């Protein structure tokens, strides 16, 4: 992928990445379209989320879930993996294109950088959304920042 195309994708991701606050906690959402050409079986998004105690309680864990908002395609699912250090968790949105979130996954790792990967199970375009939260042991929202490392 050339740098110009990558820059456009990165800009799209950062525009789609929004911070919203609802109820008693904060929610962060990010989303994009993987493999717009629909030809890659190995398309992977790779990002980092920095969780910190800046201005509040220390982070205990990150919590995340994913949903596929594309039209349904049999056998074409989206997956989300979180990892930090020697710990990792993953989840699949088990229904293609139903626009409903998967269950949450949580990874306990304290303050610092968590890595997030998104991929799909076969060739084909997939648009997804991720909801993620950095939280304290008491369930309060902690400072959160995201950056994209790869989207191809």
At 19, which CATH number? 2.60.120
Residue numbers in the chain where pLDDT is lower than 70:
1-27
Q: How many domains, the chain?
A: 1
Q: pLDDT by residue (tens digit) across 2-34?
A: 444 444 444 444 434 433 322 234 568 888 999
Cα angle, residue 130 at apex, residues 110 and 81 outer, rounded to 5° = 60
Three-state SS for 71? Answer: coil
At residue 55, the pLDDT reads 74
| CB-based contact 9:32 (threshold 8 Å) | yes
**pLDDT for the residue 40:** 95
The whole-number pLDDT of residue 48 equals 95
pTM over 0.85: no
| pLDDT at position 27 | 64
H-state helical runs in the chain: 3-16
- The predicted pLDDT at position 70 comes to 96
Expressed as residue numbers, the domain containing 64 is 3-151
Between CA 104 and CA 86 the distance in angstroms is 20
């Amino acid at each position: 992928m050339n740098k110009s195309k990558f820059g456009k994708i990165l800009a799209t991701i950062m525009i789609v990445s929004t911070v919203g606050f609802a109820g008693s906690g904060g929610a962060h959402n990010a989303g994009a379209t993987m493999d717009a050409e629909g030809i890659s079986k190995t398309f992977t998004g790779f990002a980092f989320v920095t969780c910190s105690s800046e201005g509040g309680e220390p982070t205990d864990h990150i919590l995340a879930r994913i949903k596929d908002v594309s039209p349904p395609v049999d056998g074409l699912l989206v997956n989300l993996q979180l990892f930090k250090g020697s710990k990792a968790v993953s989840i699949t949105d088990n229904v293609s294109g139903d626009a409903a979130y998967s269950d949450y996954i949580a990874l306990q790792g304290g303050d610092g950088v968590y890595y997030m990967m998104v991929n799909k199970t076969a060739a084909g375009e997939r648009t997804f959304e991720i909801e993620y939260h950095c939280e304290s042991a008491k369930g309060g929202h902690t400072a959160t920042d995201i950056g994209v490392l790869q989207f191809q």
